[in-house]
């Protein structure tokens, strides 16, 4: 085990990813997934892993047969079992009205889940990197994702496991070059037909000015996660005393609320009810509710939300479904 492999092992152990047993490794033949496979194969005994490789042909690129053959040869050299699938992405995209990227992801993960269930696998390992984390943060910030934008890539989320979540793409290429392991390049990653691909050259310019951008952003991600955890724990402790959910509505005690307190509480309660939680919606709604809680005397509405006094306890109900209006 070399130094880089030891560092990746330490990251996995420090995070407490807790993955043991049969793991399916998604390998396209690209640099990220090849490095993932080689690293997990090297660390398999340290992590107690039984590896099986998955390769999907999306039927979108003329190089796909050569990619599949490359992955087969790699699996032979590592003495690993391989499962392959041909996915009808274009037909699925047309039938469901999806973009090709989303259609490919849907079909790929449907197949991954089937293979995991059939093989009793505990996880599907993917080659998501620290660069992917940064790209996702900027994509979501651009769409108005708020604080949640800083937490897009949990290393373990359901069946998906991303062991390389703290590793840069450049480090993976250097690792493969040092070991003399080739990989396949996907030219479509450079084509500007997706928002992620358009962000990549922009971020490279930013990294030239701020080389530690990715690691600093990941540290911010960890701090934001801790802060959110503390805030949600506080809000949960208020449930039953300052607020509660009842009959598809939110009851709020009529007392002194600050706007941030109420905004976080509403987001927590909205999630419980499955209501939309866009940041701009909550930032507009929360101060209106604070004002009505403090001085309201009659039912009032804001957009599709309505506040109704409920005597004698002094609770308000926030209910969705009233005609759009403001009072």
Please write the tens of the pLDDT for every residue from 132-182: 999 989 988 888 767 777 775 788 989 999 999 999 999 999 999 999 999
Order of all β-strands in the sheet with 156-157? 81-86, 49-57, 21-26, 123-125, 160-161, 156-157
pLDDT at 312: 52
Boundaries of domain holding 297? 239-326
Determine, yes or no, domain membership for 181: yes
Mean pLDDT of the chain: 88
Choose between 327 and 224: higher pLDDT: 224
State how far the Cα of 286 lies from the Cα of 240, in Å rounded to an integer.
Answer: 20
pTM of this prediction exceeds 0.85: no
pLDDT at 321: 54
Determine how β-strand 21-26 pairs with β-strand 49-57: parallel
298 lies in the same domain as 155: no
* 97 has pLDDT over 60: yes
Determine, yes or no, domain membership for 229: no
260 lies in the same domain as 143: no
Choose between 146 and 265: higher pLDDT: 265
140 lies in the same domain as 213: yes
State how far the Cα of 117 lies from the Cα of 217, in Å rounded to an integer.
Answer: 35
Q: What is the pLDDT of residues 223-245, one digit of tens each?
A: 888 888 999 999 999 999 999 99
Question: 20-34, 76-90, 171-185, 287-301: which has the minimum mean pLDDT?
Answer: 287-301
Determine, yes or no, domain membership for 230: no
* 326 has pLDDT over 60: no
Residue 127's region, left for phi above 0, alpha for psi from -120 to 50, else beta, is alpha
Q: 315 in helix, strand or coil?
A: strand
195 lies in the same domain as 305: no
Helix (H) or strand (E) holding 239: none
- The CA-CA-CA angle for residues 104, 81, 124, to 5°, reads 45
Q: What are phi and psi of 69, to 5 degrees?
A: -65, -40
Determine, yes or no, domain membership for 226: no
Looking at the chain, the whole-number percentage of residues with pLDDT higher than 90 is 56
pLDDT at 313: 53
* 187 has pLDDT over 80: no
30 lies in the same domain as 144: yes
Choose between 153 and 89: higher pLDDT: 89
Determine, yes or no, domain membership for 287: yes
Say if residues 8 and 130 touch (Cβ distance below 8 Å): no
List beta partners, residue 308.
317
Buried b (16+ CB within 10 A) or exposed e, 149-159: bbbbbebbeeb
Helix (H) or strand (E) holding 54: strand 49-57
State how far the Cα of 209 lies from the Cα of 311, in Å rounded to an integer.
Answer: 60
For residue 298, the tally of other CB atoms under 10 A from its CB is 9
Buried b (16+ CB within 10 A) or exposed e, 265-282: bbbbbbeeeebebebebb
List beta partners, residue 306.
301, 319
Say if residues 245 and 275 touch (Cβ distance below 8 Å): no
Helix (H) or strand (E) holding 274: none
Looking at the chain, the whole-number percentage of residues with pLDDT higher than 70 is 93
| Single residue among 221, 248, 276 that ends a domain in this structure | 221
pLDDT at 279: 78
Choose between 99 and 287: higher pLDDT: 287
Quote the DSSP letter at residue 60.
-
| Single residue among 158, 191, 221 that ends a domain in this structure | 221
Choose between 233 and 309: higher pLDDT: 233
Would you give the end-to-end CA distance of the chain in angstroms?
A: 67
Q: 83 in helix, strand or coil?
A: strand
Determine, yes or no, domain membership for 233: no
| Single residue among 186, 221, 256 that ends a domain in this structure | 221
**What is the band of 52 on the pLDDT scale with cuts at 50, 70, 90?**
very high
Q: Which of 37-51, 90-104, 240-254, 283-297 has the highest mean pLDDT?
A: 37-51
State how far the Cα of 127 lies from the Cα of 116, in Å rounded to an integer.
Answer: 17
Question: 51-55, 89-93, 133-137: which has the minimum mean pLDDT?
Answer: 89-93
Buried b (16+ CB within 10 A) or exposed e, 180-201: eeebbeeeeeeeeebeeeebee
Which tokens belong to 155?
């290393």
State how far the Cα of 126 lies from the Cα of 24, in Å rounded to an integer.
Answer: 9
State how far the Cα of 113 lies from the Cα of 117, in Å rounded to an integer.
Answer: 6
- The CA-CA-CA angle for residues 163, 230, 144, to 5°, reads 70
List beta partners, residue 253.
315
Residue among 197, 126, 199, 216 at smallest CA distance from 165: 126
- Count of the separate structural domains present in the chain: 2
């Amino acid at each position: 085990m070399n130094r880089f492999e030891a560092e990746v092992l330490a990251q996995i152990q420090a995070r407490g990813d807790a993955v043991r047993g049969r793991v399916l490794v998604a390998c396209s033949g690209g640099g990220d997934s090849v490095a993932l496979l080689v690293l997990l194969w090297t660390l398999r005994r340290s992590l107690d892993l039984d590896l099986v490789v998955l390769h999907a042909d999306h039927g979108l690129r003329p190089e796909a047969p050569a990619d599949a053959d490359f992955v087969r040869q790699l699996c032979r050299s590592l003495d690993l079992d391989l499962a392959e699938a041909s996915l009808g992405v274009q037909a699925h995209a047309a039938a469901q009205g999806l973009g090709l990227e989303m259609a490919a992801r849907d079909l790929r993960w449907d197949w991954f889940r089937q293979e995991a269930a059939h093989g009793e696998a505990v996880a599907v390992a993917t080659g998501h990197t620290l660069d992917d984390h940064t790209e996702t943060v900027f994509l979501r910030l651009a769409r108005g994702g708020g604080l949640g934008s800083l937490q897009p890539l949990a290393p373990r989320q359901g069946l998906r496991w991303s062991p390389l979540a703290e590793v840069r793409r450049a480090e993976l290429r250097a690792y493969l070059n040092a070991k003399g392991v080739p990989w396949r390049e996907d030219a479509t990653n450079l084509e500007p037909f997706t928002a992620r691909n358009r962000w990549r050259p922009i971020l490279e310019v930013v990294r030239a000015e701020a080389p530690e951008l990715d690691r600093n952003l990941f540290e911010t991600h960890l701090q934001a996660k801790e802060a959110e955890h503390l805030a949600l724990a506080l809000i949960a402790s208020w449930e039953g005393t300052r607020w509660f959910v009842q009959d598809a509505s939110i009851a709020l005690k009529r007392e002194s609320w600050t706007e941030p307190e109420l905004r976080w509480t509403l987001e927590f309660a909205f999630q419980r009810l499955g209501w939309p939680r866009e940041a701009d919606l909550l930032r507009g709604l929360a101060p209106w509710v604070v004002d009505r809680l403090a001085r309201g005397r009659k039912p009032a509405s804001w957009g599709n939300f309505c506040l109704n006094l409920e005597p004698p306890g002094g609770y308000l109900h926030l209910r969705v479904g009233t005609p759009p209006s403001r009072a």
